Amino acid sequence: MQHSILCLDDEAHILDALERIFRKKYKVFKTTSPKEALDILRENTVSLIISDQRMPDMTGVEFFEKSISIQPDTIRILLTGYTDIESVVAAINSGQIYRYVTKPWDTREIEITVAQGIEKFELTATLKEKH
């Protein structure tokens, strides 16, 4: 099974960079619109989401909160250019994030983080099947 990841950021060049990193291994959905991202989640099974924190229409935390009701088991990674600890704490508490990555990221580090997130998604799915 090829996993799908959703990348959400208000900067198109960030999305293009993420797509270049992950397109060989995963199906990549990308958008600059949180509303479109929610539509993608309604229409597709997504294993992992990478979302920017600071966007004009909705924060990453707000987006993650909404995404939980659509796909509760999806792994969530917060991408932020700011070391705003309050945002990170809010994301962990209400957005149920798995990890956060700061911009600019280290490519190898983000590849490992996503691979570990996908493993967690698979493990959760396996446990649910067994129960």
> What proportion of the chain, given as a percentage, has pLDDT over 90?
69
Check pLDDT > 70 for residue 2: yes
Structure confidence by residue, pLDDT tens digits, 25-80:
999 999 999 999 999 999 999 999 999 988 888 988 899 999 999 999 999 999 88
Check pLDDT > 90 for residue 119: yes
**Amino acid type, 111:** E
Give the model's pLDDT for residue 87.
Answer: 65
Give the model's pLDDT for residue 96.
Answer: 79
Give the model's pLDDT for residue 83.
Answer: 62
Q: Which band of pLDDT confidence, cut at 50, 70 and 90, is reported for residue 7? A: very high
Mean pLDDT for 85-99 is 71
Check pLDDT > 80 for residue 12: yes
Check pLDDT > 80 for residue 93: no
3-state secondary structure the chain: CCCEEEEECCCHHHHHHHHHHHCCCCEEEEECCHHHHHHHHHHCCCCEEEEECCCCCCCHHHHHHHHHHHCCCCEEEEEECCCCHHHHHHHHHHCCCCEEEECCCCHHHHHHHHHHHHHHHHHHHHHHHHC
Give the residue from 60, 66, 71, 65 showing the smallest Cα distance to 100: 60
Q: Provide the 10 A C-beta neighbour count for residue 99.
A: 17
Kindly report the CA angle at 47 between 37 and 96, in degrees rounded to 5? 75
Give the model's pLDDT for residue 94.
Answer: 64
Give the model's pLDDT for residue 47.
Answer: 98
